[in-house]
Structure 1
């Protein structure tokens, strides 16, 4: 399992901001006319401004546009949440375009919910400066707090994607914004895939969903984690395919004393949905399978 670091993100973030400002200064004399052509919901692609470690794993999928001349256009809100909102972004050049989901975390004073320390037990903040800032609530501490959940989700997306789990491809992270694969509904061209809670699949598809879910949870467990907040509301149903989203609260099964309890809750949440749709599954049996996969 890859090492998890909250502070490497802040170092990369600060460096990336400096590089972005320098790049903007270098091109300002030549691009003023072009900048004036952008509307309020547009920006130049942020891809060139982020460091390599803040980009998704190679090989990049076809929908990842690396062209520095690409423009990001915000098309609307996909989802609102207590800690972050997800926006639909079109990144486009004259010759290609792609839809992306932009998840933007709010600062602590803007959130409607503050995550319990239940989820962060077993994690550490390596730099003493950051730890002190978090404790004291300084301006820098608020930056650390605003960034740590975005960084958590980014790290877990990378980890799970590379392990073959059904999660969105992580395109890039910059500050408190994560750009990731837009999960489209193949049965509604251009539309977002619905949450599992919203669908009523037939018996064959229901069984397929169950098999995919169990496999996904086994991948998480084999990496040493539980989702920690898994429910039909943070699983997307893209036709026959399931995609798990909202990963920042991943729970370390060995480092968190409540890890097994949270894993058990994940099992109950998901099994209740499948039982209600007519599939005979048992949460305790699922829990036993996942514990075996973890150890």
Structure 2
């Protein structure tokens, strides 16, 4: 049954600050009510598919990965990552909002599998709608730098970093049964 709103539905889905709209704020509030996340502090980064927002929990900082509404040109490319996954049979690409929620759920599931297998990934805490909550990697309120930001000259022991990346790729595949579809220096935090 549809719940009625006092404002226009289109206003409900207007995007503020690239990623946050009333729909997303409602998801964040729901995560706060469940105790998954506390105070929201502000943005700490963004990528091509999501904005990263720093928040607090009783046990420290977390990051809210807020997935953007899906632009039409990205629907089919994102859909192809889900297409062969039996967990998402029957998904229709015409519902972009549903696709973003499914994408968030898939990322949470994959992150949980990798974390449980001992892969060095942020600890997942939960998700709701288009918001994924995971461990903050960094010091104080400053996120760890991306490998791409450092370059080879910014890394003390390149051989060790290479070994760690390969070791974690092996764990991802062997122990978690996953293959990283977008591994690059832009997706690796250096801590």
TM-score > 0.5, shorter chain as reference: yes
The answer to whether 1:178 aligns with 2:132 is yes
1:81 Cα offset (Å): 2.1
1:82 Cα offset (Å): 2.3
SS of the residue 1:165 aligns to: coil
CA distance in 2 between counterparts of 1:234 and 1:221 reads: 17
Please tell me whether the aligned partners of residues 31 and 127 of structure 2 are also in contact (alpha carbons under 8 angstroms): no
The answer to whether 1:83 aligns with 2:63 is no
CA distance in 1 between counterparts of 2:96 and 2:74 reads: 15
Larger of the two Rg values belongs to structure: 1
Aligned counterpart for 1:225 among listed residues 178, 182, 191: 178
TM-score (structure 1 length as normaliser): 0.48
Query: Paired residue for 2:141?
Result: 190
TM-score (structure 2 length as normaliser): 0.71
1:115 Cα offset (Å): 5.6
Instruction: Tell me: higher relative CO, structure 1 or 2? Use CA pairs within 8 A at least 6 residues apart.
Output: 2
For residues 145-181 of structure 1, give each alpha carbon's deviation from its aligned partner in whole angstroms, at most 9, with x where no partner exists.
1211101100001100000000000011111101100
The count of residues paired between Structure 1 and Structure 2 equals 160
Gaps of 5+ in 1: 1-39, 50-65, 239-295
Moved over 3 A (4+): 111-115
Query: Paired residue for 2:96?
Result: 142
Please tell me whether the aligned partners of residues 52 and 63 of structure 2 are also in contact (alpha carbons under 8 angstroms): yes
1:207 Cα offset (Å): 1.9
For residues 242-280 of structure 1, give each alpha carbon's deviation from its aligned partner in whole angstroms, at most 9, with x where no partner exists.
xxxxxxxxxxxxxxxxxxxxxxxxxxxxxxxxxxxxxxx
CA RMSD, Structure 1 to Structure 2 (Å): 2.8
For residues 9-47 of structure 1, give each alpha carbon's deviation from its aligned partner in whole angstroms, at most 9, with x where no partner exists.
xxxxxxxxxxxxxxxxxxxxxxxxxxxxxxx9xx76725
Please tell me whether the aligned partners of residues 122 and 135 of structure 2 are also in contact (alpha carbons under 8 angstroms): yes
Please tell me whether the aligned partners of residues 50 and 67 of structure 2 are also in contact (alpha carbons under 8 angstroms): yes
The answer to whether 1:163 aligns with 2:129 is no
For residues 194-225 of structure 1, give each alpha carbon's deviation from its aligned partner in whole angstroms, at most 9, with x where no partner exists.
001122112xx222211211111001221333
1:80 Cα offset (Å): 1.6
Aligned counterpart for 1:213 among listed residues 158, 165, 169: 165
